[in-house]
Amino acid sequence: MARFKAVILDLDGVVTRTARLHAEAWKRLFDEYLGKRTKGETKPFDIERDYLLYVDGKPRQDGVRSFLESRGIHIPLGNHADSPDVETCHGLGNRKDGYFKEILRRRGPEVFEDAVDALEAWRQRGLKTAIASSSKNCAEIIESAGLEELFDVRVDGTHLQRWDMPGKPAPDMFLAAAKELGVKPSEAMLFEDAISGVEAGRKGEFGMVVGVARNGSADELRRAGADRVVSKLTEVSREP
């Protein structure tokens, strides 16, 4: 622990439990779209399999493209300003975002208490902290959960769009967070629950890439390159 100066964390699945809400929004989107386009002849979106495999941790437009290509469907990428009614990756991604916000405002995010305990412990030790998420709703989620004061830096989907930066498994988002914190990647621990996020951490040469296996994905995270896998963040924060 003594060799690290900062901790960078993904949001969903690490700090908050919004994956269920995202998965519901994705299923609504894809089942509606496939129902209209293929008249029920294409296999629908499977929350247990397709969410982790095609959309988890990715920018929305990349998730749309990845899943639809798995069903042999190719549509134009479009651009960020596309209406939710436009049949492009960005358009469908924006429609999914509307569905997600409906669910979020109705239910609110769940927060992992071990993440809060760990963040407080790290900050008491003088470590800098950053949240890095592909979600454009990151700020809204953190604010609604009352977590703003636990992070020195936030890099999210709005920054990816503004800076024209690729999402995971590219390491750019995490490297940007380290730069904003004023530390080298080798001086930071990265916590990720997504395979694409662990791959990004390896590519970015972070000091330690910790896989967070809250959903039984420990083996997959190790194969993706995690230096260590934990089920709770306090497993690391309580170490000397």
Domain boundaries, the chain: 6-17+110-237, 20-107
Cα(95)–Cα(229) distance, integer angstroms: 34
Residue 122 has pLDDT above 80, yes or no: yes
Instruction: Please state the pTM of the whole predicted model.
Output: 0.79
Do residues 170 and 62 make contact, with C-beta atoms less than 8 angstroms apart? no
Q: What is the mean pLDDT of residues 129-141?
A: 92
pLDDT of residue 41: 83
CA angle 137-200-47, nearest 5°? 55
Give me the chain's average pLDDT, please: 94
Burial readout 204-219 (b: 16 or more C-beta within 10 A, e: otherwise):
bebbbbbbbbbeebbe
pLDDT of residue 19: 80
Residue 240 has pLDDT above 80, yes or no: no
Q: Residue 12 catalytic?
A: yes
Per-residue pLDDT tens over the stretch 11-47: 989 999 888 888 999 999 999 999 999 887 889 999 9
Cα(136)–Cα(141) distance, integer angstroms: 10
pLDDT of residue 20: 86
Q: What is the mean pLDDT of residues 185-200?
A: 96
Q: What percentage of the chain carries pLDDT values higher than 90?
A: 79
CATH number of 6-17+110-237: 3.40.50.1000
Residue 107 has pLDDT above 80, yes or no: yes
Cα(130)–Cα(69) distance, integer angstroms: 33
Per-residue pLDDT tens over the stretch 225-239: 999 999 999 999 888
pLDDT of residue 69: 97
Banded pLDDT at 171 (limits 50, 70, 90): very high
Per-residue pLDDT tens over the stretch 93-105: 999 999 999 998 8
Q: What is the mean pLDDT of residues 54-71?
A: 92
The residues with which 132 forms a beta bridge, in sequence order, are 155
Q: Residue 10 catalytic?
A: yes
Banded pLDDT at 144 (limits 50, 70, 90): confident
Residue 159 has pLDDT above 80, yes or no: yes
